[in-house]
A and B are shown apart, each in its own frame.
Chain A
Amino acid sequence: MNRAENALYELNEMDELANGNSPVHRFSALAKLLVTVIYIAVTMSFDRYDLSGVLMMAVYPYVLFQLSGIPFRTCIYKMRYIIPLIAFVGIFNPLLDRTAFVTIGRVPLSYGWLSFAVLFAKGMLAISASFLLAATTRIDAVCAALRKLRMPAEIVTVILLMYRYVSVLVEEVGVMSNAYHLRAPGQKGIHYSAWGSFLGQLLLRSMDRAQELYASMLLRGYHGEFLYTAEAGMAGRDWMYLLTWTAVIALLRSVPVIQIIGNLFM
Chain B
Amino acid sequence: MKSAAPNGVSVVVTVELFGLARVRAGVSSVCLTVDAQTPVTELLGALAQECPDLVGSALCLSDRGTISVADGYALNRNGLAFLSPEIEAPLDWAPGDSLLLLSNQAGG
A, B from the same assembly: no
